[in-house]
């Protein structure tokens, strides 16, 4: 199933950025993909990476092989492996990661355990990724709003 978030609306038609659902698949299949590599792919290849399933062991392996092929085809280099977390925090509906709670608290928001529990795995993944210090987090608040965790508040200036 293809799912884009509202906070991704400014780039999903062109797929100029890597959508969260593809980032989720990258973490699932254990391949690191840089934006510059993504830009080397044509529109059909990007769309294929969006649409390809990556859930079962066979699908994960097929996705990994397809992605490795694309990276090598377009860059002449092997794709970089990414460690696959055996128990990723987005799979745990009972524990809100500190990074997410800390980022929410920076905005004056406290997330409740039942709110975290009611999120989908992909939504939890998104919040974790958007709360990391190394990530541009301008979409953290819009994601919280989109997921119904806070009321739509005026956007803060960066």
> For every one of its 158 residues, what pLDDT tens digit does the chain have, with 9 covering 90 and above?
467 899 898 887 789 899 999 999 999 999 999 999 999 999 999 999 999 999 999 999 999 999 999 999 999 999 999 999 999 999 999 999 999 999 999 999 999 999 999 999 999 999 999 998 866 668 999 999 999 998 755 554 44
Which ranges constitute the DSSP H helices of the chain? 20-29, 35-40, 43-51, 57-75, 98-106, 113-117, 121-131, 140-146
Nearest-angstrom CA–CA distance, 144 and 96: 14
Residues in Cβ contact with 119 at an 8 Å cutoff, skipping those fewer than 6 apart: 93, 127, 147
């Amino acid at each position: 199933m293809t799912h884009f978030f509202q906070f991704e609306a400014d780039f999903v038609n062109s797929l100029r950025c890597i959508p969260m659902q593809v980032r989720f698949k990258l973490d699932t299949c254990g391949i690191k993909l840089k934006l510059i590599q993504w830009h080397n792919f044509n529109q059909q290849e990007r769309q294929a990476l969006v649409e390809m399933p990556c859930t079962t062991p066979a699908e994960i392996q097929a996705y990994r092989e397809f992605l490795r092929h694309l990276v090598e085809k377009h860059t002449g280099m092997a794709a970089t492996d990414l460690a696959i977390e055996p128990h990723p925090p987005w799979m745990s509906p009972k524990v809100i990661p500190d990074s997410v709670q800390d980022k929410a608290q920076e905005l004056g928001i406290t997330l409740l355990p039942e709110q975290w529990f009611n999120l989908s795995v992909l939504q939890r993944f998104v919040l974790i990724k958007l709360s990391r210090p190394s990530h541009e987090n301008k979409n953290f608040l819009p994601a919280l709003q989109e997921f119904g965790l806070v009321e739509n508040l005026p956007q803060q200036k960066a």
